[in-house]
Amino acid sequence: MTSSPIWHPFTQHALEPAMRHIRKAEGAWLEADDGQRIFDGISSWWVITHGHRHPKIVAAIERQASKLDQVIFAGFTHEPAEALAAGLLKIVPEGLAHVFFSDSGSTSVEVALKMALGYWKNIGASRTRVLALEHAYHGDTIGTMSAGARGVFNAAYEPLLFDVGRVPYPKPHHAQPTFDALEIACRKGDVAAFICEPLILGAGGMLIYDAETLREMHRICKAHDVLFIADEVMTCFGRTGTVFACEQAGISPDILCLSKGLTGGSLPLAVTLCIPEIYQAHFSTDRSRTFFHSSSYTANPVACAAAEANLKVWRNEPVLERIIALSQHQAICLNDLEPDPRFANVRRIGTIAAFELAQTQQGYLADVALNLRARLLEKGVLLRPLGSTIYIMPPYCTTKAELTSVYSALSEAVDEVLA
Ligand SMILES: *Cc1c(COP(=O)(O)O)cnc(C)c1O
């Protein structure tokens, strides 16, 4: 065991003293320093879409790095950002017209909340309340933690978190309480925006709801002039079976947050897109109406070139076909799992499969998660259960044989952990 000064994210170092050293990655595989090959069953925290080091994306990064590494993005622009913005507007839901750059999912959501509040202030309406779903996750900054579910993750910061209106999670076939709560909250007239993760609440436990529910939540917001923010930081670029999850409901959000898969997972980048009305509310010769937000690395050219290359991969390669194939492989594996008494709540949307371990302690801090993770790693599989919720979210290049062996490794590991 080597000692390192590094403090890792979401890591209890007292329970996890050693970090694996990874030296290489290719396709769906990581390679550790000791030569062990590890299957990346969670797409390196949900960011890798096509696979690690897609050659076209790597080449674009190399080309761009040799030309322009970074430039201030106020008063200046550059081709990779312009090409990416134009490319995005061609594929996002209709109505979105402006693209604001930042560098992480959390920041894209902060930007979305600030855009919404700025809109209402600039048009002279006193709407400042934010509504969000129960079990939501929108990031780890103070603002995004405020919008997200409260729990062990953010208990220490609770005094600083702002109050949001909480709408119950739409349980499958029991979404009416969600609609009622949303309707009642919207009617009060003080709501600036409703934010949600379309079709699947990720970090909240891979909780899936249907497109009709998403459409109805959107309809209620629109009926009350409440801005609808779609946090597609995780779902964007194919995860749920379509490029964007919103497509399945046929809705156009007023504000759309994209990150993780935006660069194919190669470099950090995020965008927040909005409708013309929001941009127009900030467009003024009055400097006080400026949208006051910036990150040092806003629209970093190398990251933009990676994202632009990702769009090209989508245009030139059969990405959706790969996603459909992977989704079908997931469905087949889950079919075998369904009657297995060790598992419960077997569910799937697009490429994401999730289920709970039956008859174990529930919740994020469940001990079983850490044990299971360690056992799986020994078998060369990276999974990271959210407490007793196990999910498999592999890159799109994953073959049927690879996926089948992940499920076999999981089955063995569960036996070992429950023994
Ligand atoms: C991961 C995630 C975020 C936060 O993104 P970071 O890049 O980790 O800041 C926000 N919203 C959703 C839905 C996410 O899954």
Specify the higher pLDDT residue, 419 or 118.
118
Q: Which of the four pLDDT bands, split at 50, 70 and 90, describes residue 388?
A: confident
* pLDDT, tens only, 358-374: 877 666 566 788 899 99
Q: Which of the four pLDDT bands, split at 50, 70 and 90, describes residue 66?
A: very high
Percent of the chain with pLDDT over 90: 93
pLDDT of residue 126: 95
How remote is the CA of residue 342 from the centroid of ligand 1, in Å?
30
Q: Residue 51 is encoded by which pair of tokens?
A: 């696979």
Q: Residue range 48-70: average pLDDT?
A: 98
- What span, in angstroms and rounded, lies between the C-alpha atoms of 357 and 157? 30
Domain regions of the chain by residue span? 57-316, 318-418
- What span, in angstroms and rounded, lies between the C-alpha atoms of 339 and 144? 38
**Going by CA atoms, what residue is nearest to atom 7 of ligand 1?**
105
Specify the higher pLDDT residue, 17 or 196.
196
Measured in degrees and rounded to the nearest 5, phi and psi for residue 367 equal -60, -30
pLDDT of residue 368: 84
* pLDDT, tens only, 101-119: 999 999 999 999 999 999 9
CATH code of the domain made up of 57-316:
3.40.640.10
pLDDT of residue 300: 98
* pLDDT, tens only, 213-253: 999 999 999 999 999 999 999 999 999 999 999 999 999 99
Helix (H, G, I), strand (E, B) or coil at 361: coil
**Going by CA atoms, what residue is nearest to atom 11 of ligand 1?**
138
pLDDT of residue 222: 98
**Which ligand 1 atom is the nearest neighbour of the CA of 136?**
13
Which residues have any ligand 1 atom within 6 Å of their CB?
Answer: 104-106, 109, 137-139, 197, 202-203, 231, 233-234, 259
Q: How far is CA 20 from CA 8, 330, 345, in A?
A: 12, 27, 31
* pLDDT, tens only, 301-323: 999 999 999 999 999 999 999 99
Q: Which of the four pLDDT bands, split at 50, 70 and 90, describes residue 2?
A: low
pLDDT of residue 191: 98
In the predicted model, what is the mean pLDDT of the chain? 96
CATH class of 318-418: alpha beta
* pLDDT, tens only, 330-351: 999 999 999 999 999 999 999 9
What's the predicted TM-score (pTM) here?
A: 0.97
Helix extents (H) in 92-223: 105-122, 142-147, 176-187, 211-223
233 touches 109 (CB < 8 A): yes
